[in-house]
Chain A
Amino acid sequence: MEEIALALFVCLILALVSKRYSLPPIPFYIIAGIAIGKSGLNLVPSDAYSQYLSSLGLIFLLFYVGLEMRPRSLRERGRTILFSGGIDLAVNLLIGFAAAILLGFPLLESFILAAAFYISSSAMAIASLVENRRLILPEAETIVWMMVFEDVLLILLISLFSLQGGNLLTYLLLTIAVLAATVAIVRLLERPIRGILARTDDLPSLLTFTLVISTTYLAKLLKIPEALVAIILGSSLAATSGPALDRLSQPFREVFLVLFFVFFGITIDFSGGFSPVVAAILCLLAIGSKVASGTLVGWGLHGSVLSGIEIGADTLGRGEFSIALVAIFGSATLSATVAILVVVTSLAGSFAARYTDGIKGWVGGREDLPLPVAGAEPE
């Protein structure tokens, strides 16, 4: 137990450093975990306690994904989202999958690796847009909606991977039944839930925490994966009291997610089938493929390859979702490889996003020259 405090303390120091230099914190948590865990100084072992606490991080993350799901606004912006999200998906999933197969990963692992390779970090993309002051650019809209599209894909991928070996039909029916039942129960309990959440005492936090961790219980009871239950629960509660639950679950999410990242690092084992060469190749490809998909989207939607640099730089970083996918479904080798992938791409993405103007200038001629094609004219 006391080692958890040590792990969190190291994370706190590193988070301060990352904030000081406006770098994404996730790679630092993973590096901290690797340094104090199995592959490093071996100061903090991973035991049942820490596993439970870090699994809460995952549940809170996926609950949040469900809570933020907005099928309606997605449908309203249908075509552009399908275009940008579709290119992002096709290019990165294919390159990731082909690379994984060619580098000798087994079929199923290649799928999981391809998914982790494809999915960008929404948290990093958004933080980068806000911190680097890019929100006025039309590309910023494209990027945030691409992230929404990726969230939907994450749910599909999790459902798909959870299937492993099961019967498709029973699984599908069970999931739909659980979704329907959860929505019905939440609707039925709407008034008491709202009533408790509107109070000013300690009950709103207690209810939020209980609702979220009841996921583990429901999953065991219904025999469907926790990850899926967390998303279902989040999305069915979104309509009832989305903003309140978002605000109340935020502190839990923040703390447990840090534990999740650091213990992901702690359990990383580089002694198995991990190959640094394979990891290096994947990192380079991961950077290249997001730049390629970004360029295609930028060219298609904003009529400019320079927009692609913007989109590529901001979506380059892989993070929480890649780790979540390998943490749930991946082997030890896969986890080690993806840990490196996340650290490298997130730092590369952070630097690329910071110097986008410089890179654009270098690609498109002199920086201070008006770039008439950079950014579509609004109607």
Chain B
Amino acid sequence: MGVRCIELPGIGTKYELETEKGDRVAIIFMGSRTFQLYVLEKGKASPSAAELTAAEARRLGSLLSGAIIEAEKEAVEIAFSTLSDLRIRVHTYAIRKHLAGKSIAELAVRTKTGATVVAVSRKGKNIINPLPSFTFEDGDIVVAIGDTDQLDEFEHTILGN
């Protein structure tokens, strides 16, 4: 299943793959941020093609790779389409004064909301997988992981927004 990569001067770069069944698929990256996707069925002389914008190409790529990542400003949602559409959401929140000095265990984040704090960013330094004894400070940015309901609960009960 080798992919051939061929330079096409004046056009762009072509990536070509011959499938196990003998069909051929090619993707052409054209300079102007557009893509052409070709399929040439085994035994046929003329190909079918579609022209894709950069956004469409990304969408198609994530569909095929099985993980769809949707990015918002403060959150990323990852959907694994092959795992009965498993969706995981990662969200960032700012810690305000009233939580300063309290630890993760003290706030019982996991028990109360189901969400987990997976990272904290403090004054340009990152702490990955903080221990339950980790104490928040004013201005910390926390990264929490969970499903949409769990994160809503986290925002409500813990942060009090």
CB distance from A332 to the nearest CB of B (A): 32
Number of A-B contacts (CB under 8 A): 66
Count chain B residues whose beta carbon lies closer than 8 angstroms to a beta carbon of A: 25
Are B9 and A73 within 8 A (Cβ)?
yes
Q: In whole angstroms, what is the CA distance A148 to B10 when docked?
A: 9
* Chain A residues closer than 8 Å to B44, beta-carbon distance: 370
Q: Is A371 an interface residue (CB 8 A)?
A: yes
* Chain B residues closer than 8 Å to A367, beta-carbon distance: 45
- Near A by CB (< 8 A), chain B positions 27-55 give 28, 30, 36, 38-40, 43-49
Are A357 and B9 within 8 A (Cβ)?
no
Are B10 and A68 within 8 A (Cβ)?
yes
Complex interface: stretch among B11-19, B80-88, B133-141, B153-161: B11-19
Q: In whole angstroms, what is the CA distance A372 to B49 when docked?
A: 20
CB distance from A353 to the nearest CB of B (A): 13
- Near B by CB (< 8 A), chain A positions 123-170 give 126, 129-130, 133-137, 140-141, 144-145, 147-148
Are A372 and B36 within 8 A (Cβ)?
no
Q: Is A290 an interface residue (CB 8 A)?
A: no
CB distance from A12 to the nearest CB of B (A): 21
Are A144 and B36 within 8 A (Cβ)?
no
Q: In whole angstroms, what is the CA distance A147 to B16 when docked?
A: 21
Query: Quick one: which of A136, A148, A372 contacts B38, CB cutoff 8 A?
Result: A136
Are A73 and B7 within 8 A (Cβ)?
yes
* Chain A residues closer than 8 Å to B28, beta-carbon distance: 135
CB distance from A376 to the nearest CB of B (A): 12
* Chain B residues closer than 8 Å to A187, beta-carbon distance: none
Q: In whole angstroms, what is the CA distance A129 to B26 when docked?
A: 14
User: Given the interface contacts A133-B49, A375-B45, does A70 sit within 8 Å of B9 by beta carbon?
Assistant: yes
Closest to A122 in B: B10
CB distance from B46 to the nearest CB of A (A): 5
Query: Quick one: which of B4, B16, B18, B30 contacts A130, CB cutoff 8 A?
Result: B30
CB distance from B155 to the nearest CB of A (A): 39
Closest to A129 in B: B11
* Chain A residues closer than 8 Å to B11, beta-carbon distance: 126, 129-130, 135, 144
CB distance from B74 to the nearest CB of A (A): 28
Q: In whole angstroms, what is the CA distance A324 to B44 when docked?
A: 40
**B residues near A, CB below 8 A?**
4, 6-11, 14, 16, 18, 24, 26, 28, 30, 36, 38-40, 43-49
A-B interface, 10 closest residue pairs, ranked by CB to CB distance from nearest: A136-B38, A133-B49, A370-B43, A136-B26, A371-B45, A374-B45, A136-B47, A357-B46, A126-B10, A144-B8
